[in-house]
Amino acid sequence: MTNKITDINVEQKHTRIYLIRHGESEWNAAGDLYCGRTDIGLSKEGVTQAKNAGDFLSSVAFDRAYASPLIRACDTAELILGERDLPIQKDERIYEGDFGEWEGRSKAAFIKEDPDSWNNWMANPWATRAGRTGETAREMYERASAFFKEVSDKHPGETVLVVAHNNTIRFFLAGILGMPFSNYRRIFQDNTGINVLDVDGDDILIRSLNINAHLND
* CA–CA gap between residue 138 and residue 206 (Å, rounded): 21
Q: What is the pLDDT of residue 139?
A: 98
φ/ψ (deg, to 5) at 194: -110, 125
Q: What is the pLDDT of residue 34?
A: 93
Average pLDDT over residues 154-177: 97
Give residue 157's pLDDT band: very low, low, confident or very high (50, 70, 90): very high
Give residue 1's pLDDT band: very low, low, confident or very high (50, 70, 90): very low
Give residue 6's pLDDT band: very low, low, confident or very high (50, 70, 90): low
Give residue 217's pLDDT band: very low, low, confident or very high (50, 70, 90): low
The answer to whether the CB of 56 falls within 8 A of the CB of 213 is yes
Average pLDDT over residues 196-215: 94
* CA–CA gap between residue 179 and residue 209 (Å, rounded): 15
Could you tell me which of 96, 116, 97, 113 has the C-alpha nearest to residue 105?
A: 113
φ/ψ (deg, to 5) at 183: -100, 15
The answer to whether the CB of 202 falls within 8 A of the CB of 172 is no
194-200 vs 89-90, strand pairing mode: unpaired
What angle, 0 to 180 degrees and rounded to 10, lies between the N-to-C axes of helices 166-177 and 137-154?
A: 80
The answer to whether the CB of 107 falls within 8 A of the CB of 32 is yes
Report which listed range, 4-8, 25-29, 126-130, is most confident: 126-130
Mean of the per-residue pLDDT values for the chain? Answer: 93
The angle formed by the CA atoms of residues 78, 80 and 83, to the nearest 5 degrees, is 70
Q: What is the pLDDT of residue 163?
A: 98
The answer to whether the CB of 159 falls within 8 A of the CB of 63 is yes
pLDDT in tens, 33-64: 999 999 999 999 999 999 999 999 999 999 99
Could you tell me which of 183, 94, 189, 190 has the C-alpha nearest to residue 135?
A: 94
- DSSP state for residue 210 in the 8-state scheme: E
pLDDT at 5 over 90: no
pLDDT in tens, 94-146: 999 999 999 999 999 999 999 999 999 999 999 999 999 999 999 999 999 99
Q: What is the pLDDT of residue 32?
A: 82
φ/ψ (deg, to 5) at 151: -60, -40
**DSSP helix/strand/coil, 15:** strand
- Which pTM was predicted? 0.93
